[in-house]
Structure 1
Amino acid sequence: MQYVSTRGHQRLGTFTDVLLSGLAPDGGLAMPEQIPTFSAAELERLRGLPYTELAYEVMRPFISDIPEDDLRGLLRQTYRAEVFGSEEITPLTALGDSGLYLLELSGGPSLAFKDMAMQFLGHAFEYVLERDDRRVNILGATSGDTGSAAEYAMLGKERVNVFMLSPHGRMSRFQQAQMYSLNEPNIFNIAIEGVFDDCQDLVKAVNADAEFKARYDIGAVNSINWGRVLAQAVYYFRAYFALGLPAGAEADFCVPSGNFGNVFAGYLAKAMGLPIGQLMVASNENSVLHEFFSGGVYHVWPAERVAQTSSPSMDIGKASNFERFLYLVAGGDAVQTAGWWAEVGAGRPVDLRGTVHWDAVAASGLRAGRSTHADRLATIRRVDTEFGRLIDPHTADGVLVGKRFQRPGVPMVCLETALPAKFGETVEEAVGRLPERPAQFEGIEDRPRRCEVLPNDVDALKGFIAGQLDIKRRG
């Protein structure tokens, strides 16, 4: 399988080439030349497979440059009960007889769904770097959970350094402590004076400097990384089969999403032939995606418009993976996609109303809804009262929107994004008590922190990265 850029049909190489590279040289994202599909009979063959075997069957068509036995070994290393807390890896739980289900994705080491892909990336990076005798310096941006998931996945990886940007003061206290309390020689936390979109733009700006990127071996683990999208597609298959539906019957999914990576993984699964009906995008007050799917116009919100909310991981005004979706909506037309993103870059909206592309969006099955702080509190309280289950505020966004768009007789699977312990203040506001947290995280907010605060300036960021790596080279 070869990969191309969403903006230029530039050949980017094979899976392991795009795994380490981040953005394409033209600023686009890596996409496979074609999306393999499963027939109905092939889907039935996948039903009942253990998670590692299912992951192999879903991911293998996209990964031609890792030998079969090695790929199976990487997946066995990644998806273990002792890492994710369950032999099922991603348990599916019914919320009573409501027709709503929770897909539990937060059993990993950072207590968030990002572990599902990031743990695979950690092992895959190590494998490729050892094979090719290389090193990589990961530059990433996080609105909350990607950072800790990436750092936990890369702990102790001798050939990897992680430089993780986060918006200064805009994550929960637990999220900040989970990242900043790590005292590891290959982990560098950087708080940027701005919002998440500023962090994301800085990552893209560094990647656009080809000379700096090559000199300092810059790679990426953000949701723009194709390896993350591919690994996340697996749990849609797992959830669908766990429902026990007759062959071909549809299921709907609701996904809390700000950067469009998690829900795009679901769209990839649907494009591969999984019988997904609706894919609901749940937004908070930062409703960029809701605006598009409701009205056909995609606006990038300026930083000053992005609100600080109680579901902070979705406080995003620019959805990076959305480009991949529009690329598929355009039928793989990279020229059209590049044109749309030129409009975005010039500060103009992408307006699809009245076009064949808007018809394609309508046919995609994607819909959107949004919620408020009051909605989140009420949903957390209702799920606790009715089903005896505490959920975090992002998952509450998903449950609220999922219930709103539920179809009679069709299961609605709501993706859990994090354990409530990561957002204790909001959960306590909703139900009057703090959620339990795993023993290893007791008192984490009081631990010493290591974090550099930098201005929203690409030269300051490059200087910090270069300085730290030069120190390590001399040492």
Structure 2
Amino acid sequence: MKYISTRGNVEPRGFIETVLMGLADDGGLMIPAEIPVISPATLVEWENLSYQELFLEIFLYYVNDEIPLEDLKEMVAKSYSTFRDPAITPVKPITDKLYVLELFHGPTFAFKDVALQFMGELYSYISKKQGEIIHILGATSGDTGAAAIQGVRGKEGIRICVLHPHQKVSKVQELQMTTVNDANVLNLSVKGNFDDCQRIIKELFGDLGFKGEHHLRAINSINFVRILAQTVYYFYAYLQVVKTNKDASINFSIPSGNFGNVFSGYLAKRMGLPVNKLIIATNENNILERFIQTGEYKPGDFLSTYSPSMDIQIASNFERYLYYLVGEDAEKVSAYMKKFQDEGQIVIGAEAMQQVHAEFAAYGVKNAECLQVISKYKANHEYLLDPHTACGIAAYETYSGDNEVCVSFATAHPAKFDEAIKLCNIEQVLPAEIQQLLVMPQYQTIVDNSKEEIVKQLEAFYSRATDVVEN
């Protein structure tokens, strides 16, 4: 298995090289040169595997024997040892047509833990094997930062800096990041929105001199390992649901802002998972909904919503899907992305849109509807949804069909978004791990939306980190 860039100007790389590269050196995103296809017979054999066993089966198609099986097993065991449910991502029936895939049983109560606990172990493994300090740099709309910090804090040979938009994440999301006072962690609160943070991250990774000098590594979903690790729970959920729904078409409804979680499902489908529809749920920052409906990929005005992790106008992983949409033609992808950079939009033709409509549906949920869905499911099913999960349920209700069963993703625990829950006149008991955050001191640096200012902060942090390691 080799990995290539969506823009075609990077020599094929191995698995570990791809992990360390993160954003491709030509500005594109790394993808497998060929996607392995899982046979129906193999899927049947996988039906009774544990989550950890299934993870290993899928990853073995991708790691190229670069990591010995026993080492990979140890990383997977450590990654999921802290999850509060033995199933890791349990599937809960709500009605006879609707299941919820609970992705919030990791240490930070969000779906990002599923991939980032493993990535923390993987980066630590690579750092030890190569004898090299790794500097992780990422941007977050709320959940990635906390999960990434939790995944690597205290690990030898790793430093992490996370940019988050100042006062545009929930209070619990902010506290999960900024109450960490470890020497290898730096939190930068940027006066801007997530797209500003993400743009600066991409610019820094695009500066190959800066990237190489400081050993920068990515933990955002621009890193293919994030995508692959998320693919596992599509297989896991499908294999649980199909046991009691042999003749039904199975859909997935996915709250998404950056297209990473959706692309993981698209990858699973290309690998042979017989998914019927991938339903994209967005909020009022609905660039993905507009693309699916009209073929126009163009950012709109940024809006703050009750589901802040999806308050995103530029979806990084869209480029990966674009690569397959244009027939795996890297030159076309480069031309499209150049057009997007110069003109701020991409428009897909009618023929390609037939393919888009065959693969996806999308629905943008307004703030009021989000709260209505939370109240409705608490009253009718005694199930409390976080606002992102509520968007996924609203999208399921819009696109549910006869003889179709849907798995809707619960991407976060409702305790992370108590501000929205209280607007529904619902009182919830916060988990002890979250309650204790409310009285802890915070450690963050508030900075202007400036690449130059962030570079200064990074260079000072890396200098301090070097002193710590050498002494």
Shared topology, TM-score over 0.5?
yes
Aligned match of 2:160: 162
- Answer whether contact 2:221 2:227 (CA < 8 A) is retained: yes
Whether the aligned pair in 2 keeps the contact of 1:300 and 1:347 (CA below 8 Å) is no
RMSD: 1.3
1:71 aligns with 2:64: no
1:108-136 superposed Cα distances (whole Å, 9 cap, x missing partner): 00000000000010111111111111111
**Contact 1:112–1:145 (Cα < 8 Å) also in 2:** yes
Structure 1 Cα separation of the partners of residues 316 and 381 of structure 2: 35
For residues 7-406 of structure 1, the aligned pairs below 5 Å read 7-64=7-64, 65-80=66-81, 83-97=82-96, 99-243=97-241, 244-245=243-244, 250-301=249-300, 305-354=301-350, 356-363=351-358, 365-406=359-400
Query: Please, which of 445, 448, 451 is the counterpart of residue 455 of structure 1?
Result: 448
Correspondence for 2:401 among 390, 407, 413: 407
Match of residue 416, structure 1, among 410, 419, 435: 410
The 3-state SS of whatever aligns with 1:13 is: coil
Q: Which amino acid aligns with 1:103?
A: L
1:239 partner SS: helix
Any idea what SS the aligned residue of 2:328 has?
Answer: coil
Shift of 1:392: 0.3
Q: 1:428 Cα shift?
A: 1.3
1:46 deviates by: 1.1
Structure 2 unaligned residues grouped into runs of 5+: none
Farther off after superposition, 144-153 or 342-351: 342-351
- Please give the per-residue CA displacement for 1:266-319, whole angstroms capped at 9, x wherever unaligned: 111111000101000001000000000011111133xxx110111000000000
Contact 1:105 1:416 in 2 (8 A): yes
What does residue 420 of structure 2 align with? 426
CA distance, structure 2, for counterparts of residue 346 and residue 300 of structure 1: 13
Alignment-mate amino acid for residue 273 of structure 2? L
**1:96 Cα deviation after fit:** 3.0
CA contact (8 A) 2:84 2:106 kept: yes
Once residues 12 and 110 of structure 2 are traced to their aligned partners in structure 1, the CA distance between those partners, rounded to angstroms, is 30
Q: TM-score, normalised by structure 2?
A: 0.97
Which whole-Å CA distance do the structure 2 matches of 1:444 and 1:264 have between them? 33
| Structure 2 residue identity aligned to 1:72 | K
Greater shift, 399-408 or 435-444, is seen at 435-444
Structure 1: 5+ residue stretches without partners:
none
Asked whether the equivalents of residues 135 and 217 of structure 1 are also in contact (C-alpha less than 8 Å), the reply is yes
CA distance in 1, matches of 2:245, 2:434: 42
Number of residue pairs matched?
A: 466
**Cα offset for 1:74?**
1.6
Distance (whole Å) between structure 1 residues aligned to residue 326 and residue 10 of structure 2? 17
Partners of 2:465 and 2:230 lie apart in 1 by 34
- CA distance in 2 between counterparts of 1:271 and 1:247 reads 21
Q: Is the 8 A contact 1:172 1:423 kept in 2?
A: yes
Q: Structure 2: how far apart are the matches of 1:67 and 1:359? A: 43
Deviation at 1:357, TM superposition (A): 2.4
Question: Take 1:282 and 1:79, find their aligned partners in 2: how far apart are those partners?
Answer: 27
Q: Confirm or deny: 8 A CA contact 1:295 1:353 kept in the other structure.
A: no
8 Å Cα contact 1:297-1:349 kept in structure 2: yes
Structure 1 residue matching 2:404: 3-state secondary structure: coil
Post-superposition shift, 1:434? 2.9
CA distance in 2, matches of 1:348, 1:474: 43
Distance 1:445 1:346 in 2: 44
Contact 1:7/1:337 (8 A) holds in 2: yes
Question: What TM-score, normalized to structure 1?
Answer: 0.96
Judge conservation of contact 2:184–2:465 (CA < 8 Å) in 1: no
Q: In structure 2, what is the Cα distance between the partners aligned to 1:401 and 1:120?
A: 30
Letter in 1 for 2:98: L
SS of equivalent residue, structure 2 residue 276: strand
Q: Secondary structure at the match of 2:136?
A: strand
What is the CA–CA distance in structure 1 between the aligned matches of 2:392 and 2:426, rounded to whole Å? 22
User: How far has the Cα of 1:11 moved from its partner?
Assistant: 2.1
Are the counterparts in 1 of residues 159 and 465 from structure 2 also a CA contact under 8 Å? Answer: no
Tell me the alpha carbon deviations over residues 415-460 of structure 1, each in whole angstroms, 9 at most, x when there is no partner.
0010000000111111x23322221221423321111111111111
One-letter amino acid of the structure 2 residue matched with residue 155 of structure 1: R
Question: 2:226, 2:244 → 1: CA distance?
Answer: 27
